[in-house]
Structure 1
């Protein structure tokens, strides 16, 4: 195929204003494109942001920033303090501690498979990873560092200007570039090598208890059809065990509180009273490692979580209809909402949840602290 040179470019060449040789003797090295290491059964319809393509240099810079304690006001904590790899990037606490022993009011969410999500934080207040990434830096309860000061600290560092140049073509550090680099690293935190994944790939067979738990997990109960289920996948969908396959996050009132005690939840973002008490349904990958549970960390064990859904749902005006109508027994005329799972069924669901643990994910050196 013959390449057509635009007329205006030809004129510039003829006038000697630029070199138009067929070979650039001094090519400018740019960042090296890379791709996510995701299995083919994960959705492939989620595009990478056009203004933040994944590169080796961007991911490495983001990894350093994720573990950089200079991004907290007193230099004591980093993103990795509340999102610890051995705990599947959670921290094992009901509420995380920030600088000066300040305490938040939400449980630190586990981080994995974030590329397939479109809303972040429990109330969905961030619409992209790039936006999400810099908010904890400025939050007074977390890292408590004005973003302008964060920029100044990184700009004055002996390494970071050149690292930003390698990743983004400029030594001038900005809040936007900090967010982009952090987002690149966070997108690589893919968990897809659990026993469940091996089962998907036909590499292993689940135990009878795990198999029963899987079937209950992915079944909505219908006593009229004698179909027993745990109703879990109505909110934790598909192989990702997270939001919808198209990446749209799900927000639900899962019956933690009665009407008078409902927290704002998603309503804080939307202003819609119908969203009161609704919180993001998190992905359940590595769920056995990410206790305590719920947005406020109220449950210490998976057994407590199953007991809640089975026997302790609190009814309210915004209770999710998928929970309201879910029961393994026919209605008895009361207003109580119960799943009516047996003890053996609850144990089976928990056995299945343990198959979501990915040991490779929590030990992968690519995700570890580069300063150690």
Structure 2
């Protein structure tokens, strides 16, 4: 036992020991061993630590998007959608476009705590990035839009955002010869309808696929056949980022909600930021379902490109990742459970105190950088062929 302790202390002093989940049978592992474990195929990675009842959805590469049968892809439709997305004529004032809140130079968000719209009125929620939106379900923070086609039309009608109506928009665009020709070419009819507008914008948005991150290059390196290229690609992830990946999947519990290729379970959770009966109250998913169990629940955001999209959370209250890490490390924000109030929000049972130290928190943040690539510049190259 004394020899084991001495060996542990010496190894720690060299800075090469990292925590490893208990199921390996060894509570500590060197950086070299950790790299060796994660250089294997994903199905051979260390077993993740998941809460009871949570399905294991492995992390992975972003797949090709699937276009709905009733709104198939075409290059012409994509380009029409891109034009509409950037056209302020879709707003009553003629000054606000979809791109006003989803700027490609700002990671397809707007860099603001909350967005502003018609007459500079401010909303109450942060504008989410729309990279990889093709893979999202139940759009918006509260999931009120069932499809991307439906979502595309909602900001147009919101009085705080673009403050227009769909009938008025149809009249405006039908008076523009350029749009008449474009819709005739794409849809076979000159008459422009709101449904077709939504389909064109949604088609463009589905082509906004994130670029390859260091994490993606690492994953591709696992199956690379050329030894030289394999070594180069596996080096894309630093030792600290690999430590963060391991924590993400095990001790930190991030994989419970941030899983799959997009790092989101596409579900709704309450981490304690509903501000119930206080100034910044937002009832979240409840506004859609009217189910008291949904008070304070918000859609799990995708973490791909996360470092491009601050400030974070539905209210944009967090400009630094350290604040977010501290919330999760503490097990979420506790909320008073009032048994006499059926609307009293409850913090998700998936959140538990993590007891992560400063080094582990920095490793997790480094992993956030590793899954963040430069923002997409527009339609992914596969759609431009």
TM range (shorter): 0.7 to 0.9
Which digits, 9 at most, give the CA deviation of each residue in 1:302-337, with x for residues without a partner?
A: 1111112123722245321111xx3xxxxxxxxxxx
Query: What is the aligned partner in structure 1 of residue 170 from structure 2?
Result: 151
| Structure possessing the higher radius of gyration over alpha carbons | 1
Q: 2:179 aligns with which of 160, 170, 174?
A: 160
By how many angstroms is 1:146 displaced? 1.2
Looking at structure 2, the residues matched to 214 and 366 of structure 1 have their Cα atoms a distance apart, in angstroms, of 27
Report the secondary structure of 1:314's partner residue.
coil
**Correspondence 1:352 to 2:367:** yes
Which digits, 9 at most, give the CA deviation of each residue in 1:211-270, with x for residues without a partner?
A: 011111122xxxxxxxxx222221111231122xxxxx2100012257655631111111
Q: 1:108-187 to 2 correspondence within 5 Å?
A: 108-187=127-206
Runs of 4+ that moved beyond 6 A:
none
Q: 1:297-316 to 2 correspondence within 5 Å?
A: 297-311=316-330, 313-316=332-335
Query: What is the aligned partner in structure 2 of residue 252 from structure 1?
Result: 269
Q: Which consecutive residues of structure 1, in runs of 5 or more, have no partner in the other structure?
A: 1-39, 220-228, 244-248, 327-337, 368-372
Q: Is 1:257–1:314's contact at 8 Å kept on the other side of the alignment?
A: no
Distance 1:177 1:350, change over 3 A: same
Looking at structure 1, the residues matched to 292 and 368 of structure 2 have their Cα atoms a distance apart, in angstroms, of 33
Report the secondary structure of 1:264's partner residue.
coil
Q: Is 2:274–2:283's contact at 8 Å kept on the other side of the alignment?
A: no
**Correspondence 1:216 to 2:247:** yes
Give the alignment's Cα RMSD to 1 decimal: 2.0
**Correspondence 1:318 to 2:346:** yes
**Correspondence 1:272 to 2:291:** yes
Query: What is the aligned partner in structure 2 of residue 362 from structure 1?
Result: 376
By how many angstroms is 1:158 displaced? 2.4
Q: TM-score, normalised by structure 1?
A: 0.76
Q: Which consecutive residues of structure 2, in runs of 5 or more, have no partner in the other structure?
A: 1-59, 222-232, 336-344
Looking at structure 2, the residues matched to 364 and 125 of structure 1 have their Cα atoms a distance apart, in angstroms, of 26
Q: TM-score, normalised by structure 2?
A: 0.74
Looking at structure 2, the residues matched to 181 and 133 of structure 1 have their Cα atoms a distance apart, in angstroms, of 9
Aligned length: 299
Distance 1:257 1:180, change over 3 A: closer
Looking at structure 1, the residues matched to 67 and 274 of structure 2 have their Cα atoms a distance apart, in angstroms, of 38
Q: 2:207 aligns with which of 188, 211, 217?
A: 188
Which digits, 9 at most, give the CA deviation of each residue in 1:105-156, with x for residues without a partner?
A: 1000011112212210000000000000011011111111111111112111
Which digits, 9 at most, give the CA deviation of each residue in 1:8-61, with x for residues without a partner?
A: xxxxxxxxxxxxxxxxxxxxxxxxxxxxxxxx94457x7531110111111111
